[in-house]
């Protein structure tokens, strides 16, 4: 499905506690921002992580990559765009782009998670109901 694409938008301002001595967001906090983007995108689509876990599926991170172009600053207005560009199989990939108020891309990242059974902790296929939710949402975007 080459035309598959879902995108969520999350706007926020970095808190003082998330910055280093220079007033720039500490690099380790971008992984947390990416998590917020993923959780909020799934929530917008009608599925929360909590519901997925209750139904027997966990999503541990197996890959994280981040490219830093410029540092985000304390209290700066930011937009985090989180996208899913392909239907999941045993894995699901999220693509993140952090943009400032002027439209400049500050940070990009990719996070890959694997569908895992909550009882056996073994990888499994993407739950069919979740896949159908993604397909339906992609047709509406």
pLDDT grade for 4, boundaries at 50, 70 and 90: confident
Give me the mean pLDDT over the 19-44 stretch: 96
Give me the mean pLDDT over the 125-129 stretch: 96
Told to judge if 20 belongs to the known catalytic residues of this protein, a careful annotator would answer yes
Q: Which member of 3, 20, 67, 129 is catalytic?
A: 20
pLDDT in tens, 58-110: 999 999 999 999 999 999 999 999 999 999 999 999 999 999 999 999 999 99
Taking the C-alpha atoms of residue 141 and residue 96, their distance in angstroms, rounded to an integer, is: 18
**pLDDT score recorded for residue 140:** 79
Structure tokens at 76: 């700066």
Taking the C-alpha atoms of residue 95 and residue 37, their distance in angstroms, rounded to an integer, is: 10
User: 84 near 94, Cβ under 8 Å?
Assistant: yes
Mind listing the domains of the chain with CATH numbers? 6-140 (3.10.129.10)
């Amino acid at each position: 499905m080459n035309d598959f694409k879902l995108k969520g938008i999350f706007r926020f301002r970095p808190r003082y506690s998330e910055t280093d001595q220079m007033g720039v967001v500490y690099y380790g906090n971008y992984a947390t921002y990416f998590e917020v983007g993923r959780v909020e995108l799934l929530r917008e689509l009608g599925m929360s992580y909590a519901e997925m876990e209750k139904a027997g599926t966990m999503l541990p991170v197996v890959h994280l990559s981040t490219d830093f172009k410029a540092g985000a600053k304390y209290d700066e207005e930011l937009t985090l765009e989180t996208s899913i560009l392909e239907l999941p199989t045993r894995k699901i990939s999220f693509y993140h782009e952090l943009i400032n108020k002027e439209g400049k891309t500050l940070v990009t990242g990719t996070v890959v998670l694997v569908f895992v059974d909550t009882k056996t902790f073994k990888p499994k296929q993407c739950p069919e109901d979740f896949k159908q939710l993604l397909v339906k949402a992609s047709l509406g975007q």
